[in-house]
Every structure is written in C-alpha cells, then in structure tokens.
Amino acid sequence: MERRTLLKALAASPLLAAPLHGRAAPADLKSVEALQRDWKMLLAQGADVTLDTAPLKRSNEEWKKILTPQQYNVLREEGTERPGSSPLNGEKRPGVFACAGCSLVLFTSAMKYESGTGWPSFFTLIPGVFGTKKDFMLIYPRTEYHCIRCGGHHGHLFDDGPKPTGLRYCNNGVALRFVPKPGTA
Ligand SMILES: [Zn+2]
C-alpha cells in the first residue's frame, strides 16, 4: 500500500489524528528561518538551560535517580505519554522548551502550534538539536527523534504540519521543561 493511503487508513488512530491549526504559523520559510536564527529572543536571562550539544553520557542507574519514572519511560525507553496528559499542551506563554533530561534548548514558544493531537507540537526546531532514526514500532516506518546531547527520546516527526514547513514534531510533554520569559509579548 502506498504510504499516504496507509496513513489515511490509519487516520482514526490518535497518533495520526488530523491536526487542527489553531495557531498561525509564519507565512513563509524566511520567517521560519528568522525564528530559528533569533530564537534567543525568547530565552530568559539566567535561564537554567544549556546550549551545549556535546554528548552527555549517564548510566541507566544515574538516569533513574535524576528522572521521574514517567520521564525515564519516555526519554530512555522510547515510551509515549497518554495524549492530552501534558500541561504543556496548553502552554502559550513566551519562552523556550528544553530537554527534561539534559536541559538542552530544543524549541521556542514561537515554534509551537495547536495540532489537536493531544501532544505538544512544533512546526520547526532550533537547528542541530536532534538526531533521528526510522523506527518500526507501529506497522509503518516513523521518524523517531532524540536529543543530540543526552540521546533522550522526544517524539516522532510527521509531514502533516502547517505550511510553510509542513512538519509536525510530535513531542512528549514529559520530555520537555518549559522556561518562560517574563515580560515578553
Ligand atoms: Zn537531552
């Protein structure tokens, strides 16, 4: 079966629920590039995050001490949180989203949109923060993405996001930590 037909056939699955674009994405790719280039405008001064992508290695035992059981399941075992369970779904304040495992900054609030899937969704990212691989956990191949610094699993990348990127980074909220930037419009 052709992939798109298969996706349609599986559209009833909550993992593939048709995204509703409640929040407008930028009109053109140049504006998306500007969001990627100027993302630090949404970084609060003295925020407890890192921009360092050098690999951070920890043993499973160490991760278990640092992470909650739910964070461990998602980040270290490629688990998926229940849709609609993350408070970050409704997070609309200005700020940045960092990896809950290692604090590397991954997205800004300006890259987030309401996909209607029940998972925090982003149409672009801060460049260079993720590695990807194909996984076959469901019937069809999906693009898994993980933090380039700690290797923690974050979510899957789909091609049904809003224009102009057409991308949907479907991220587990439990794998993210939001750092607001107060006083920003
Ligand atoms: Zn990380």
Protein residues with C-beta less than 5 angstroms from the ion ligand 1: 99, 101-102, 104, 147, 149-150, 152
Q: How far is the CA of 71 from the centre of ligand 1 (A)?
A: 11
The pLDDT tens digits for 12-27 are 444 443 344 445 688 8
Q: How confident is the model at residue 5 (pLDDT cuts 50, 70, 90)?
A: very low
Among residues 168, 16, 173, the alpha carbon closest in space to that of 79 is found at 173
Indicate the DSSP class of residue 60. Answer: H
pLDDT in tens, 50-93: 999 999 999 999 999 999 999 999 999 999 999 999 999 999 99
**Which residues does the annotation mark as catalytic?**
170
pTM over 0.95: no
The Å distance, Cα 121 to ligand 1 centre, comes to: 18
Note if the bond before 164 is cis, omega within 30 degrees: yes
